[in-house]
Amino acid sequence: MTRPSWLSPKVARTEILAGLVVALALIPEAISFSIIAGVDPSIGLFASFTMAVVISVVGGRPAMISAATGAIALVVAPLAREHGLSYLIAAVILGGLFQIVLGSLGVAKLMRFVPRSVMVGFVNALAILIFMAQVPELIDVPWPVYPLFAGGLALMILFPKLTKVIPAPLVSIVALTVLTVAAGIAVPTVGDKGALPSSLPVPGLPDVPFTFDTLALLAPYALAFALVGLMESLMTAKLVDDITDTHSNKTREAIGQGVANVVTGFFGGMGGCAMIGQTMINVKTAGARTRLSTFLAGAFLMVLCLVFGPVVSEIPMAALVAVMVLVAFGTFDWHSVSPATLKRMPIGEITVMVVTVAVVVATDNLAIGVVVGTITAMVIFARRVAHLVEVTAVTDPDGTQVVYAVTGELFFASSNDLVYQFDYANDPDTVVIDLTDAHIWDASTVAALDAITTKYEARGKAVEIIGLNKHSARMHGNLSGELTGSH
């Protein structure tokens, strides 16, 4: 058996440092996302710990970081607000089970139907939602919050120019915490949001009635949770594949996300999925490539909370808001909205991106946005392809037959107009329809060809269809004459 690559000292050093950097970057985010979800910070931190540790073993994409995320927090927030923590945890377990089922059914393969413009819209909408979730933290707060927030942003922008060995968000959080504690500045801190965990999470079942009513209440949230989690995870996995020039097992990743969420729910966490920001820190900034960095990110996170909890409680919220605002700005694809890009982009692609962003921001639900965006893209594509069908007629010199050459892809959107391209009244007695440069994709096209044949036959004219490729011939042979009740 070959030795795993992370056992070599050089790789191990990279992975250990990457894990530590990500763990430090995870703490503020896990706390911030707990606040978005309206739960105690420990719930988000437990989720990040169990998600990272479990997914490092069962996931399909090495070096990708899964933890509590903003996308998941936004989905479960209404449930937590209206029904409390027990229902949230029950929804996480049910959502994880949905993910295992969807993963087993091959939902990962559907990702290839998500167009690039939807992916860009998804990333941009995520950035907008993360930013909007920070705004309440900057309203009705003591005035020192604003200079601290500005200072945090400045530090994170300028510090990487000095060195990139230590992550700038960490430097900013440490500096602002030291400043507020030393100067005794009274601003909202992490501790004000709720107590950090002082012990490891204990497994248990959520305290909800096991009835059909509970299931009916939880199912919509759990399904949205499952879809958002899978979408974000599979999209992030695709991103890591591109960065590392390696292929990952998307089906294993989808099932692994479900397993990690079920475990997280049993340990009282709020669930999660892949994190674009932290994964970029791990893979791009720190250069990690194996499962070890993902495992250590979760393990280090728990050590920092349990051992250094009192210190973490003193972190000013302004520092975390600054981190999250920068994450939002870093997540947004600015290139996609630059005038040069918009000038070159087809209007259909821009429409799909805008629709995706608008629906996500309006509904607070990434899954709905991606589905609506993808449907919009398909409608635009169908309309565009429908116009690429051409019909040219050549009549023999002696006037005894006419050959109609059809070029293009024939499906429901393009074949509807096909019926009107023929001169039924004036054509000679023999009509040849040549489909050498066409392809029949669906029953609508066969029905259209049947209708054309029927119109000619009603006038006593013979129709011959030639040039069918193998697939088209099979479809035409199986369905022709079978699509109306009058045969």
Q: Which residues pair with 405 in a beta bridge?
A: 392, 434
Whether the pLDDT of residue 458 is over 70: the answer is yes
Whether the pLDDT of residue 258 is over 90: the answer is yes
Q: How many CA atoms lie within 13 A of 207 on its CB side?
A: 3
CA distance 487 to 142: 81
Q: How many CA atoms lie within 13 A of 403 on its CB side?
A: 11
Read off the pLDDT of each residue in 291-300 and give the average, rounded to a whole number: 95
CA distance 47 to 33: 11
Whether the pLDDT of residue 3 is over 70: the answer is no
- State percent of the chain over pLDDT 70: 97
pLDDT of residue 212: 94
Is the distance from CB of 369 to CB of 356 less than 8 angstroms? Answer: yes
Read off the pLDDT of each residue in 431-447 and give the average, rounded to a whole number: 94
pLDDT band at 1; cut points 50, 70, 90: low
CA distance 206 to 41: 18
pLDDT of residue 148: 96
Q: Lowest mean pLDDT: which of 46-60, 85-99, 118-132, 342-356?
A: 118-132
| 29-38 pLDDT per residue, tens | 788 788 888 8
CA distance 92 to 86: 10
Measuring CA to CA, which residue among 322, 364, 290 is closest to residue 29? 322
Longest dimension (CA), the chain: 102
Structure tokens at 358: 């608008």
Is the distance from CB of 326 to CB of 169 less than 8 angstroms? Answer: yes
| 156-176 pLDDT per residue, tens | 999 989 887 677 877 888 899
Read off the pLDDT of each residue in 202-222 and give the average, rounded to a whole number: 92
pLDDT band at 300; cut points 50, 70, 90: very high
pLDDT band at 468; cut points 50, 70, 90: very high
Read off the pLDDT of each residue in 251-268 and give the average, rounded to a whole number: 96
Q: Lowest mean pLDDT: which of 246-255, 268-277, 306-315?
A: 306-315
Amino acid letter for position 453? T
Of 30-44, 257-271, 325-339, 358-372, the range with the highest mean pLDDT is 257-271
Read off the pLDDT of each residue in 198-218 and give the average, rounded to a whole number: 90
For all residues of the chain together, what is the average pLDDT?
89
Amino acid letter for position 329? F
Number of C-beta neighbours around residue 140 at 10 A: 7
CA distance 39 to 320: 17
Helix (H, G, I), strand (E, B) or coil at 465: strand
pTM score, whole prediction: 0.77
CA distance 41 to 390: 62
Read off the pLDDT of each residue in 479-483 and give the average, rounded to a whole number: 84
Strands across the sheet with 401-410, in order?
A: 390-395, 401-410, 430-440, 462-466
Structure tokens at 461: 């004219």
Strands 430-440 and 401-410: parallel
pLDDT of residue 13: 83
CA distance 69 to 67: 6
pLDDT band at 487; cut points 50, 70, 90: very low
What is the DSSP track for 280-333? HIIIIIS---SHHHHHHHHHHHHHHHHHHHHHHHT-BHHHHHHHHHHHHHHHS-
| 371-393 pLDDT per residue, tens | 899 999 999 998 888 888 899 99
CA distance 214 to 6: 45
Q: Lowest mean pLDDT: which of 50-54, 127-131, 141-145?
A: 127-131
Is the distance from CB of 290 to CB of 15 less than 8 angstroms? Answer: yes
| 67-114 pLDDT per residue, tens | 998 878 888 888 999 999 999 999 999 999 999 999 999 988 887 788
